[in-house]
Structure 1
């Protein structure tokens, strides 16, 4: 069967400044929370590889953009570094950073690759984290100023902007589950961080529209479908609770300009609702996006709790559900994550049916593999598993398109093997292999396959192999 996609479909990949640029304390850039945390606790990073040792895009941007072209990209999403552009968080601009980002944007356009620019990818400048980070409304104001600066500097060429990538991750990692700095475990503070992040998002959207720039602005959310163990009412409610806390807490303000009442009621019931101020609701209402980015990797499977919550334990999302390990699930054995391709279709269907079918695109989807050199043959990574992963997800995207979804593109995570927070280079995701010792770049089998799919705007799959 042939799966054909629209000829204006976006084919590309996603990356971020902190995971690819390197030179993390050079070129006038100040420390982010990642530089700070690595200096404090390098043992918490895989093989003690920190943010200085990322994939050197700062030095090799021209070579890397040529490889984007070679692997079929007509679009590419990356982020700007707040700490590079504004080393003290606000005020004086680092002109070295302006020159660097101008070169990158201009070269992307010269190669026929549309830049998608994200403003924040988990990399809070440490000078602002010292003020409380997203817990402090002064940082919300500083972010809005930073966003407006970027719109002014680059908005003549950049037509697709995103305020945040996966804003729930700093909430989960930094304030609930201790896998990001500042390593706090406190739901009330987490809720404040989430709320202030969406105020910052909405403030940036409003500034963008006030400036009259010719383009679109959105947000990138990691939408993880919550599937119940059974159709029993208790399991169904557990799935609704998980969806409310992890998906709708950001999706509703981004697409509807307000929080779901069920979430407000739940937080009020347990005394966890963050402080709001007069005018906040008007700011949030102004933050409805033009374009939604969707990151999808794996499903969330839940069931009702098997025992009562200890009321003296810390308040956590798991008060309302617990994880369910579905027998027979398909797994990525090298990453430990479930592979459920239909989940990408279920997300797009939910958006079409329940959220008025917004303009959207798949902004991240990919397969991480540990010790990928085991698949090196004749100088190339033979990653057929990644080809299968992407193809099967694209089949479900195609089905959603056939049913009317306004999904405009597909970006894989990621273009080149890159540094991934405390996991460093443990899991490789790239279409291009990176040799850390030599910085040599080599296109994998998946990179050549992806280039051909993008060139043809589709692919063929035999119907006798399971579809």
Structure 2
């Protein structure tokens, strides 16, 4: 009723919640994360009508993103003031933006996509400030959020100790081709969307996961690692999510009731190769987490796509049983390689 994350009051509530968690579980938990994929409520709730409140309003979206970032910094401040043992970070779903070509317009469009979807949380979390280009874009288009005195100092003084990265797919971007729809600069245009400034581009060489509709591009995990190494103080980071969802996996079941998901093994193997390369070249990555241990329920499509190393038998007893990928992955962990 008060606007959810559009309201500054939620920042205070979240900080109180975080302080309570530190107090109750500080003796058990040594690594904390303020948010997981904080841009998802922004995009799903305020741009693309996937989650509540199901509106399309870029200015409100910017306010929600800003308040979330303030809440993260405020929780980090409380953690540090408490002088508790441990570290605190944030998990971001980073989606590298690749331009269609080396043409200036394509590169500028990809850079803007990166600013909006990645750097809007990455820069303040790690560097303690927003990119000047992003600030200029937000102001120029009448999208500036409500800011309180002391906010910039709060963000600057409360950066993360480590970074979690969820990586699934790249973003392919080209310059906006249809400019028939005029964009009113300098004042809030209610029809404004990120797509008002760029177009998505289908890379001719792409490989797809047809069940999820996502491109499979293993090198993206390497590019993320090198970017963190070169542009974000080589902060310690880990892959907090990576994996693939496949529909109707029961097709691949054998006589022993094991699912032969060789496609998942190949997916993980190729991503680990690129992750190994980025570590070899100095990126400070300390771990890899797969999404997910067992088949899980999705907000958008229930159990349509299966992500797990373990099968969940939904038809009978909900028993969990290992897929072929689980046995392979166990050996990878045991041997620290393959």
Q: TM-score range by the shorter chain?
A: over 0.9
Conserved? CA contact 2:164–2:238, under 8 Å: yes
Separation in 1 of the partners of 2:322 and 2:9?
44
Separation in 1 of the partners of 2:96 and 2:289?
19
- 1:284 pairs with 2:155: yes
Conserved? CA contact 2:42–2:64, under 8 Å: yes
Shift of 1:394: 0.4
TM-score normalised per structure 1:
0.70
Larger RCO (CA under 8 A, 6+ residues apart):
1
Q: What is aligned with 2:77?
A: 206
User: Which of 25, 28, 33 lines up with 1:157 in the alignment?
Assistant: 28
User: Which of 292, 313, 321 lines up with 1:442 in the alignment?
Assistant: 321
Separation in 2 of the partners of 1:133 and 1:409?
34
- 1:455 pairs with 2:326: no
Separation in 1 of the partners of 2:224 and 2:92?
11
Q: Which runs of 4+ in 1 moved over 3 A?
A: none
Conserved? CA contact 1:253–1:287, under 8 Å: no
Separation in 2 of the partners of 1:449 and 1:356?
35
TM-score normalised per structure 2:
0.96
- 1:243 pairs with 2:114: yes
How many residue pairs end up in the alignment?
330
**1:309-354 superposed Cα distances (whole Å, 9 cap, x missing partner):** 4337701111221100111211112222110000000000011111
Separation in 2 of the partners of 1:446 and 1:436?
19
Q: What is aligned with 1:112?
A: none
Q: What is aligned with 2:268?
A: 390
Conserved? CA contact 2:238–2:287, under 8 Å: yes
Which stretches in structure 1 are left out of the alignment for 5+ residues?
1-129, 460-467
User: Which of 385, 410, 418 lines up with 2:296 in the alignment?
Assistant: 418
Q: What SS does the corresponding residue of 1:455 show, helix, strand or coil?
A: helix
User: Which of 364, 367, 392 lines up with 2:241 in the alignment?
Assistant: 364
Q: What SS does the corresponding residue of 1:301 show, helix, strand or coil?
A: strand
Separation in 2 of the partners of 1:275 and 1:428?
41
**1:204-238 superposed Cα distances (whole Å, 9 cap, x missing partner):** 01111111111010000011000000001010001
Separation in 1 of the partners of 2:309 and 2:81?
39
- 1:345 pairs with 2:222: yes
1:65-464 correspondence runs (5 A): 130-308=1-179, 309-311=181-183, 314-378=191-255, 379-437=257-315, 438-459=317-338
Conserved? CA contact 2:209–2:216, under 8 Å: yes
Shift of 1:175: 0.4
1:14-25 correspondence runs (5 A): none
Conserved? CA contact 1:295–1:364, under 8 Å: yes
Separation in 2 of the partners of 1:420 and 1:285?
36
Separation in 2 of the partners of 1:132 and 1:333?
37
Which stretches in structure 2 are left out of the alignment for 5+ residues?
184-188
